[in-house]
Structure 1
Amino acid sequence: MRCHCPTHAEATAAPGGADFPVGVVIPLQGPAGIFGPSCEAVTEVAVASINAEGGILGRRVRPVVIDGGDRPQRVAGEVGDLVRSGRIHAVTGWHISRVRQALVPVTAEHVPYVYTSLYEGGEQGSGVFCSGETPPDQVAPAMRWMRDERGMRRCYLVGDDYVWPRGTARAVRSYARELGLSVVGREFVPLGTSNFDTTMGRIAASGADTVLMLLVGQDAVHFNRAFAAWGLHEHTRRLTPLMEENMLLGSGPEATEELYVAAAYFRSLATESALDLTGAYTRMHGPHAPALNNMAESCFEGMMALAALSRRARSVQPSGLMAVSDEVGYDGPRGPMQISRGHVRQHVYLARADGVGFDILARL
């Protein structure tokens, strides 16, 4: 499914039938709150595109924004109330794995849930579809590329202390053994960490040639600034699966030298559908809109996946969507997207930070 690129007139035109309210769980506070405005803005583009093509089963999609940056159990309580009262009929959005784990029990078998964030993998909840990147398709080939193209041999891992970084770190140890790499240090910091001086001292003493960053949002911004202040960028590279244009802007170009990112979408990606999305986003929100980025674009993909699944199943019942999911694919800004066993397979790219944007170097 390509982006329809709706005009403002199409965005306000409603197909027949009742609304189809979708809970959009995105962070509006905390370390990941930096993504919130762009996630909300691109969701409006996705909704307009779907509604211009008839909505979901003839019903106009209406987003219901929920703050996914709050405490996981509080988010789950709000979503559960909305599901039970029939005020939302599906859930999607970018949020951290702690929140996903809290949401699965309140959505399972009641409403479909398209989780759009990159994550550690392994989710198999009933009616849950994961459209984000996972370590085997993202981190493993990126480490191989860094070894072959940039001489990575000794890696120091720094992550926030929660499910995604710890799960990914376990995978990294296995990938490192397979690739003949050494993990010379590993540490996890609380979400919301802003002072990384102790960490920088350990990295400097470790002899690492590459730091693998598993930090979210503002935490990564603080890390990048400290990394440059310590002068580590002069001889140590950084590799991360989570970095986007807002984070580059917050870090500053002087703090992102030799920073490499593996992701399925960058604003500089030049697929036909990616260019369509960029144009639609700018037309709807203007040139000063929040920077379009991977986390925001994942919310677009979540809506597109939900629409494609419901179109194939002719239903929005979780069991019906699960029954047809392996037959569903569509063309999105990331390129060809194919659902298999509740996960979306997709291309992943390796890019290097270049000012406040990314120079895509390879498809992994």
Structure 2
Amino acid sequence: MNAISWNCRGLGNPRVVHALWDVVKSHKPNILFLMETLSNKERIKHLCGKLGFSNFWAVDCVGRSGGFALLWKSNVKCFPERERRRESWDLLKFLANCSGLPWVVLGDFNDMISKEDKKGIHGHPQALLDGFKQTIEACGLIELDLMGGKYTWEKCRGKPEWVRERLDRAFASSSWWGLFPLCKLNMHKCVHSDHDPIHLELYSTEYLKKKFRFRFENTWLKESNFHEEVSAHWRRLKPSHFLPKLLELSSFMGEWGKRFFNNFQKKKLEELMINEELCWQQRAKSFWLQDGDSNTRFFHACATSRRKQNHIHYLKDEEGGVVSTHEEMCGIVKRYFIKLFGDEGRVMRNNMKV
């Protein structure tokens, strides 16, 4: 399941509708939330069917401003409330105290947490920064890291008064983090709107159990660089909920372990190759080659050549005939030694002594 929130700045522009179609086609969200639609319910109803959503809820625009819509598919339970159309920090606090259920809130908050969330002229008032940050902390929410960029809204691009701000973001409770520890929040560029859509991908703990397997190996602790690399990676991680940081660190150690195993296997293979070369070197009796090319083909060739030289291809019998079969050659050898060590052989040896 995934959701997309986008301040589209008007669905009357065909290019915006085409860009929205591309986003939905690429990421197949189950929930789509659109702000600043500048459209009415009839147009949203037509768009809902065109984009493949079975349900919608919309608020008409007023003149040439406002309007938003929530679209969702039949496999999603969604209960929109009209009073939520006005974003209010007091409402967020109220909702945070209403229930202990896991929850996530995302979209265009039209406010920022720190001065780093804005780049351009006229800094954001510190009172608003503090108020938004205190509200998020009071609700017990933790921000999801945004991938793909830092700023989600801009105006006057390329001009001296160019301003960029991070207005679209997502926050979640600790219990929600426990359900979706591997979630990802991505930003996608759109040239037809001053807001870029944000895309939330959810991976539940069930997915984690099936797909993610981490096994710690005690042999890693014997490597001198293990502690140093793991500590450095932990320090590079952004401040966030403990569980996603722990999972990210586990993933890093898993990849480290793969590299360690591959290097270990490589070392073992090199040792086996060296032993094989020594074995073939001994069989080839090529002790004169002490520091030559580490190529076992040479030793294979030498040993094979020796086997060929030691092999008897044929023998000649007493009448000078050539025999090549195993049985015939064995017969010639047997008769030869019988003759050599028999009576005839003893007479011949005695004559040689005289």
TM-score band, normalised by the shorter chain? Answer: under 0.3
Query: Is the radius of gyration larger for structure 1 or structure 2?
Result: 2
| Structure in which a larger fraction of residues adopt strand | 1
Higher relative contact order (CA 8 A, sep 6+): 1
**TM-score, structure 1 length as denominator?**
0.25
**TM-score, structure 2 length as denominator?**
0.25
